A and B are shown apart, each in its own frame.
Chain A
């Protein structure tokens, strides 16, 4: 039993693709509401109480869409009122609302994506395509903490020398430049030494192989299969035009049928997959504890 974070990154990446693409592609209020709901649930499952930090942004985006869109667009048949000789229409307002829902949903999905898909996982996914690029990315990712530590060392040394006495932006800027300059010299020399060491150990002689700590377990395959089936059915319903919505000139929905209902249901299952996995894991953990 694994938590959602530990599933095979390739499967998780495809899952995110399957969730995000329809919600970027289809302007359908129901689908987008499902997507947004799924994004919010996953966000809070991952972050718990900390999820509220910065969460105010999303209601603001939705409200901004609702208010700003009718000010710029005056299409639509249902005029609510007239502002400065420009009609404000219900259609434009609803369009803005749905657009805000879409944008905040996608932003939330990408937040979870950034939390789950750490750099090592992305290297695992894309490393096979270009081993050289993957090597460079992993070197950069290693250099960043190293450089940050070196910067704080340099800063402390400069402080001990009696610099930065005053609260002064120019002084700060000059100090920053000096530290940066020191860093560049140090980092370049360091880099050349690293490169020489790599060459001495035979880098570039043979074929580059790739090490990955991730395996395909049964649960990964099952998860991928389920996610792909759900995505496939969702795409099918979209392609069959069972899901779709026209805003202008009048709000109309394509006739609702069983296929559309199936599409919504399957997409709901898809967006809730990570939460279902997490809940199952927690349940299992509790039952194991109670047995002890």
Chain B
């Protein structure tokens, strides 16, 4: 699916972001700015990475149906937070992202993941963390998409991926919180942050596994059916 319509802009971004913008940013970050601007460098890098991913989506013919289905899955992942609001710490976002990615491919996974982050932050508060959440969930979806065929058949692997996604999300977001809080990366502070986040990490990982195992097959079948019936 083409997100950035203008082909010249897309091609420019695809070359300029990895070969010009990012190196310049990193060099500026280490050489020009005084020691403590890493939070900025990493924030800008994340935004650039998101741009790069969006400019990479090139497939010319994408049906309106698939676009609407991506929108539907994103809305479901956000609404899922409300369904399970009664049980604290249970959020199906990651599971929905992974399931969509497995059945509809890496691009759809990345889109559903990153859009879910923006949309759910309309309800839970935007902040400088929004690009990081977009990136973290997007990457979780992208990898799940590439592992799709393998994860589709293998239930234990799916559970392991759920744990990985929970731990990855927590570790990734803590890098940002530490950088932002200290403006420099201090390994002891990072470890302290990870330790205090352990209950959350466990609840992320556990809810991912539960949702993936319970919802994986039925949701997958539904997506498969829609794909077959309507030729998405």
Query: Would B215 and A177 count as touching, CB distance under 8 A?
Result: yes
Tally of chain B residues near chain A (CB < 8 A): 60
Query: Would A132 and B223 count as touching, CB distance under 8 A?
Result: no
- Is there a chain B Cβ closer than 8 Å to A106's Cβ? yes
Return the chain B residue nearest A244 by Cβ. Answer: B34
A27–B183 Cα gap in the complex (Å)? Answer: 10
- Is there a chain B Cβ closer than 8 Å to A158's Cβ? no
- Is there a chain B Cβ closer than 8 Å to A252's Cβ? no
Please indicate the chain A residues that have their CB under 8 angstroms from the CB of B54 in the complex.
Answer: 130, 133
Return the chain B residue nearest A173 by Cβ. Answer: B87
Please indicate the chain A residues that have their CB under 8 angstroms from the CB of B182 in the complex.
Answer: 99
Interface residues of B in 75-109 (CB under 8 A from A): 75-76, 78-80, 82-84, 86-87, 90, 92
Query: Would A192 and B65 count as touching, CB distance under 8 A?
Result: yes
- Is there a chain A Cβ closer than 8 Å to B144's Cβ? no
Query: Would B115 and A136 count as touching, CB distance under 8 A?
Result: yes
Query: Would B122 and A198 count as touching, CB distance under 8 A?
Result: no
- Is there a chain A Cβ closer than 8 Å to B72's Cβ? yes
- Is there a chain A Cβ closer than 8 Å to B36's Cβ? yes
A140–B68 Cα gap in the complex (Å)? Answer: 9
A141–B3 Cα gap in the complex (Å)? Answer: 18
Please indicate the chain B residues that have their CB under 8 angstroms from the CB of A173 in the complex.
Answer: 84, 87, 90, 210
- Is there a chain A Cβ closer than 8 Å to B222's Cβ? yes
Shortest CB distance A20–B (Å): 8
- Is there a chain B Cβ closer than 8 Å to A44's Cβ? no
- Is there a chain A Cβ closer than 8 Å to B219's Cβ? yes
When each residue 100-116 of chain A gets 1 if its CB lies under 8 Å from chain B and 0 otherwise, what string results? 00010011001101100
Query: Would B68 and A198 count as touching, CB distance under 8 A?
Result: yes
Please indicate the chain A residues that have their CB under 8 angstroms from the CB of B126 in the complex.
Answer: 110, 113-114, 117
Known: A137-B115, A172-B86, A180-B80. A132 touches B67 (CB 8 A): yes
Please indicate the chain A residues that have their CB under 8 angstroms from the CB of B72 in the complex.
Answer: 143, 187-188, 190-191
A196–B68 Cα gap in the complex (Å)? Answer: 10
Query: Would A188 and B83 count as touching, CB distance under 8 A?
Result: no
Contact of B68 among A111, A118, A185, A195 (CB under 8 A): A195
- Is there a chain B Cβ closer than 8 Å to A239's Cβ? no
Query: Would A181 and B218 count as touching, CB distance under 8 A?
Result: yes
Known: A136-B71, A143-B72, A181-B218. A196 touches B65 (CB 8 A): yes
- Is there a chain B Cβ closer than 8 Å to A169's Cβ? yes
Please indicate the chain B residues that have their CB under 8 angstroms from the CB of A225 in the complex.
Answer: none
A177–B69 Cα gap in the complex (Å)? Answer: 20
Tally of chain A residues near chain B (CB < 8 A): 56
Known: A151-B79, A195-B64. A103 touches B181 (CB 8 A): yes
- Is there a chain B Cβ closer than 8 Å to A24's Cβ? yes
- Is there a chain B Cβ closer than 8 Å to A131's Cβ? yes
Query: Would B125 and A137 count as touching, CB distance under 8 A?
Result: no
- Is there a chain A Cβ closer than 8 Å to B40's Cβ? yes
Please indicate the chain A residues that have their CB under 8 angstroms from the CB of B65 in the complex.
Answer: 191-192, 195-196
- Is there a chain A Cβ closer than 8 Å to B139's Cβ? no
When each residue 164-207 of chain A gets 1 if its CB lies under 8 Å from chain B and 0 otherwise, what string results? 00000100110011011101110111111011101100011000
Query: Would B3 and A144 count as touching, CB distance under 8 A?
Result: no
Known: A181-B215, A188-B69. A24 touches B40 (CB 8 A): yes
Shortest CB distance B180–A (Å): 7
A179–B214 Cα gap in the complex (Å)? Answer: 13
Please indicate the chain B residues that have their CB under 8 angstroms from the CB of A117 in the complex.
Answer: 126
Please indicate the chain A residues that have their CB under 8 angstroms from the CB of B222 in the complex.
Answer: 181, 184-185, 188
Contact of A191 among B71, B119, B214, B218 (CB under 8 A): B71
Known: A133-B3, A169-B87, A176-B83. A140 touches B115 (CB 8 A): yes
- Is there a chain B Cβ closer than 8 Å to A81's Cβ? no
Known: A130-B4, A195-B63. A137 touches B92 (CB 8 A): no
Interface residues of B in 30-44 (CB under 8 A from A): 36-37, 39-40
- Is there a chain A Cβ closer than 8 Å to B226's Cβ? yes
Query: Would A181 and B83 count as touching, CB distance under 8 A?
Result: no
Shortest CB distance A271–B (Å): 18
Please indicate the chain A residues that have their CB under 8 angstroms from the CB of B183 in the complex.
Answer: 27, 99
Q: Considering the complex of A and B, which 10 residue pairs feature the smallest CB-CB distances, nearest first?
A: A143-B75, A191-B72, A195-B68, A195-B65, A139-B71, A191-B68, A147-B79, A195-B64, A110-B127, A140-B75
- Given A143-B75, A184-B219, A198-B64, 7 more A-B residue pairs with CB atoms under 8 Å apart are A107-B127, A117-B126, A118-B122, A130-B54, A151-B83, A177-B215, A188-B72
10 A–B contacts, CB within 8 A, in A order: A25-B37, A72-B188, A99-B181, A136-B111, A137-B115, A141-B119, A172-B87, A181-B218, A181-B222, A191-B69
Mark A residues whose CB is within 8 Å of B.
Answer: 24-25, 27, 72-73, 99, 103, 106-107, 110-111, 113-114, 117-119, 129-133, 135-137, 139-141, 143-144, 147-148, 151, 169, 172-173, 176-177, 179-181, 183-185, 187-192, 194-196, 198-199, 203-204
